[in-house]
Amino acid sequence: MANAFKVVSTDRGVQLSKPAMLARVQISVLARHVRDDEVTAAVLKKNKAQDGSGKFVKELMAGVFKDTIKAVSRIRSLHEKRTFKLPATGGGQIKGPRLIPSDMVEGYLSDIYAAIDEFDVCVERECCALRKYVAAEQLRLGSMFKAEDYPTKEDARAQFSASVHVDGMPTVESIEAGKFTADLRADAAEKQSEVASTVARQLIVQLLEHVGHAANQYTKREADGKTKLFPALRDNVDDLINNIIPKVGLEGDDDLVSLCDSVRKMLTHSTAEIQGGNLKALAATRKAAVSAAKKLGKEAKKRGITVNDYAAGQQSKVKSYF
């Protein structure tokens, strides 16, 4: 597993033993909010309010660029699926760079570049239809419509962009000998220990989301006596367990290694096998998934993870395991 980073236990605590990379995506889209001073003045006057009490901002082209917005979501989804947040004290920011195992960089870039190509195609197509959208805006905005609020096709296209950047990340061992080596190494060791802990925490969050959702669906199908399942239920778990996590490495986190062993038991039977009407396979998979989800929920609580760590739409998948 050359060039991958691993979470290992050392005399300096849990560390990243090999170089990782820092990946970030930058996406710009068309500005679609414009302040309307005339409407603002009319509203303030109508309500007998003083100047500066508020402002009216128009949303231009609402519901437009739907395909482009979907393409943006795909880029961000791919980025977040293959990378890990840095801890706040280690430079982590909402839109800052994220950690990625070096062994995953090639596949990550291939997927991201394909998504960016799709984004560019959508932008080009929808910018070319801008004149049609602007005509519809006259009906939607009525007297608030102002032609000068809208960019030309060329100006609109220039506001859209998407790019990806991957850079190296220093490790404790990469710090060269020098006057302040001891202090630098100690500081780097502390930071990398926190990074390792943050990565492991995110893996548990993702595992519980996918395993919990699968357990819920398997339970429902078994109760109904039905075996029709979406392949993604198993595929998402399999991707984490057999692709992402092995490339991160977990030798220093025995609890997480044990959890992964529990999760693997629900992968014994394929989706095709279950959909073929094998109720015993469904029952065994459901039992293993529920057991793994309960263990993940218990470990999640130990690490300070709560239901609030999940997006609103994902909370229903995991709340019964906390």
Least confident of 67-76, 84-93, 225-234: 84-93
Q: State the average pLDDT over residues 52-61.
A: 89
- Residue 66, pLDDT score: 93
pLDDT digits (tens, 9 = 90+) for 159-215: 999 999 988 765 544 444 444 455 555 555 566 667 777 888 899 999 999 999 999
Is 56 exposed, middle or buried, given 0-12, 13-18 or 19+ CB atoms closer than 10 A? Answer: middle
Q: Is the pLDDT of residue 5 over 80?
A: no
- Residue 138, pLDDT score: 87
pLDDT category, 253, cuts 50, 70, 90?
confident
Q: Is the pLDDT of residue 229 over 90?
A: no
pLDDT category, 13, cuts 50, 70, 90?
very low
The full 3-state SS of the chain, as one line of letters, equals: CCCCCCEEEECCEEEECCCCEEEEEEEECCCCEEECHHHHHHHHHHCCCCCCCCCCEEECCCCCCHHHHHHHHHHHHHHHHHCECCCHHHCCCCCCCEEECHHHHHHHHHHHHHHHHHHHHHHHHHHHCHHHHHHHHHHHHHHHCCHHHCCCHHHHHHCCEEEEEEEECCCHHHCCCCCCHHHHHHHHHHHHHHHHHHHHHHHHHHHHHHHHHHHHHHHHHHHHCCCCCCHHHHHHHHHHHHHHHHHHCCCCCHHHHHHHHHHHHHHCCCHHHHHCCCHHHHHHHHHHHHHHHHHHHHHHHHCCCCHHHCCCCCHHHHHHHC
Q: State the average pLDDT over residues 88-101.
A: 66
- Residue 280, pLDDT score: 93
Q: Is the pLDDT of residue 90 over 50?
A: no
Q: State the average pLDDT over residues 268-286.
A: 92
Least confident of 21-35, 86-100, 251-265, 305-319: 86-100
Whole-number mean pLDDT of the chain? 84
The label of the residue with tokens 């960016």 reads: 116
pLDDT category, 304, cuts 50, 70, 90?
very high
Q: Kindly list the domain boundaries of the chain, sorted by start residue.
A: 20-169, 175-321
pLDDT category, 267, cuts 50, 70, 90?
very high
Q: How far apart are CA 101 and CA 123, in angstroms?
A: 31
Q: How far apart are CA 161 and CA 173, in angstroms?
A: 37
pLDDT digits (tens, 9 = 90+) for 107-144: 999 999 999 999 999 999 999 998 888 888 888 889 89
pLDDT category, 88, cuts 50, 70, 90?
low
- Residue 216, pLDDT score: 95
- Global pTM value: 0.67
